[in-house]
Amino acid sequence: MAIVDTPTTWLLNSFSLSTLREFAEADISVRALSSDEARAIAATARSAVGHADTAELFSRQLGVEVAMDRRTVVLALGDRALVGQHVGERLAIGTLTRPQDAEVRWLLVEVKAARGRPPPPTSGSE
């Protein structure tokens, strides 16, 4: 019997290729979202927002409680990430809080099997 991993939707404050488990064997799609679309996805997403002020900012903008949870996320095939991307100048070194009016752009990142290649077998498959 095969073990099936349920895809996870994460709420992140950044996205990096290093978060991909099978980055050489995956296609990534990125789509800009409206605030309403982001709110709907955030309602069931698992937070991995690593800074308290960012979690608070996201909570205000999304209308849902966003927990601060500084963890390492590894995205597998089928996973999604709702990314709140800071827009604007880099914050100064040592800055611990974002401006109250910080602009955030909401993006949905989806990890899919590479076109033309079957997905790798899941662990425990026979």
Q: Using one digit for the tens of pLDDT, what is the confidence trace for 74-83? A: 888 889 999 9
Q: Which residue has the tokens 């002020």?
A: 53
Structural domains in the chain plus CATH codes: 9-113 (3.40.50.11170)
What digits encode the pLDDT tens for the residues 25-65?
788 899 999 999 999 999 999 999 998 888 988 998 999 99
Distance CA 26, CA 39 (A): 27
The predicted model gives 76-101 an average pLDDT of 78
More confident residue, 64 or 123: 64
* Helices marked H in the chain: 35-42, 52-62
Q: pTM for the full model?
A: 0.79
Tell me which DSSP letter residue 89 carries: S
The predicted model gives 12-25 an average pLDDT of 80
**Most confident region among 14-18, 19-23, 32-36, 90-94 by mean pLDDT:** 32-36
Handedness of CA 6, 59, 55, 61 (dihedral sign): positive
Tell me which DSSP letter residue 123 carries: T
Q: Which of 51, 32, 64 is nearest to 98 (CA)?
A: 51
Indicate the burial class of 65 (C-beta count within 10 angstroms; 0-12, 13-18, 19 or more): exposed
> What pLDDT is stored for residue 88 in this prediction?
72
CB 74 within 8 A of CB 23: no
Distance CA 65, CA 4 (A): 29
